[in-house]
Amino acid sequence: MAAVMKQARPLRVCIVGPSLDIIGGQSIQLERLRVRLVQNPKLEVSFLPVNPRLIRPLRFLQRIKYVRTVVTSFVYFMSLLIKIPRVDVVHTFSASYWSFLLAPVPAMLAGRLFGKGVILNYHSGEADDHLTRWRTAKPLMHLAQLIAVPSGYLVDVFARHGLTAMSVPNFVEINQLPYRQRTSLRPLFLSNRNFEAHYNVSCVLRAFARIQERLPQAELTVAGDGPLRERLRSEARALRLRNVTFCGPVAFERMPMLYGEMDVYLNAPEIDNMPISILEAAACGLPVVTSDAGGIPYIVKNGVSALVVPSNDDAALAAAAIRLFEEPDLAPRLSAAARAEVLQRYVWPEVERNWMETYRLAAQCGSGA
């Protein structure tokens, strides 16, 4: 009887990762996933942030360099010891390098300590370099019974390093994304990657300088923030770009409006995995012009659902973008194919089935399930 009741209760899953206090692809995808999963009656879902806020009287400590890392990490570690014994499955989001050590590794250790099923949900496009250069990475990843990644690209990367990973793709909230068929393109371009070196927003600016030589009325909206903010603004001035708007970080709930206003999506990373922004742009009907970094060719095909060019080649990026205005039937054809792919593979019902199966497998691995 007890066994029947145990099977009947919802599976208790704790998602561990960054909160929306850290704006980025991981935190946005985590929040979307959490909101969807809590609606599933077969699950009891909780969230444990790796960047917890201190109580108000102590919150000033998180504004002090170095001190904030120590106190935030201490609160996070203590939260793990309190939370993990009460769940069946630990689902920890992961980036690479030091972030991997500070966030998912403690969660995986706690999960194994208390006999729980542990899923390492690895998202970084820097996985190959991480696994190659950090000797501790591979042994520590074995703390997880299951490794889930959002793309076939990372499945292949992990396989080259002797690790088995399963692909559970990111998804888009299709009903929240305004679709518009771009039958007559306006030269309104969008870039919305954070200002970090591997996202190479600099290449987008250089490409846009070339685009403006051909399309003088072209406009570029640059959404995002990061350590290269001032350098990129200075580069835009040095290139004498016109009609460029740096709109700063945009909250994820405001991004659909921005996609709806633009007509072409530009993307030029040198390292990437499965950028959700490409899927969102495609869902909104924007033709996508992108570099071929990392896992991007796994989600779009050159000449079929996007125009894909070599990484860090601003001339090729600009030429591809200009093609959209010289070949009137090209943008509608690419956009239709890209949106059809999103509707088939990257919407919630399909992704939910994948996660439910992954959670069941993880729970079977945990001795406390």
CB 310 within 8 A of CB 294: no
∠ CA 132-136-142 to the nearest 5 degrees? 100
Check residue 73 and give its pLDDT: 80
Residue 74 domain boundaries: 2-171+347-365
38 and 75 together in one domain: yes
198 and 299 together in one domain: yes
200 and 217 together in one domain: yes
Mean pLDDT, consecutive 10-residue stretches, the chain (369 aa), reads 56 92 77 94 95 65 60 86 96 94 95 96 93 95 96 95 95 93 94 94 98 97 95 96 94 90 97 91 97 94 97 97 96 97 94 95 79
Task: Count how many domains the chain has.
Answer: 2
Check residue 4 and give its pLDDT: 43
Q: What CATH number is associated with residue 85? A: 3.40.50.2000
Check residue 51 and give its pLDDT: 82
234 and 164 together in one domain: no
326 and 351 together in one domain: no
109 and 235 together in one domain: no
119 and 188 together in one domain: no
8 and 68 together in one domain: yes
Q: SS3 of 354, please?
A: helix
159 and 200 together in one domain: no
Q: Where are the beta strands (DSSP E) in the chain?
A: 11-17, 43-49, 89-94, 117-122, 146-149, 166-167, 188-191, 219-223, 244-248, 264-267, 288-291, 307-309
Check residue 189 and give its pLDDT: 98
Check residue 311 and give its pLDDT: 95
Check residue 3 and give its pLDDT: 44
132 and 237 together in one domain: no
pTM, two decimals, is: 0.84
341 and 201 together in one domain: yes
273 and 226 together in one domain: yes
- Closest by CA to 93, choosing from 73, 120, 116, 117, is 120
Check residue 53 and give its pLDDT: 75
Check residue 369 and give its pLDDT: 44
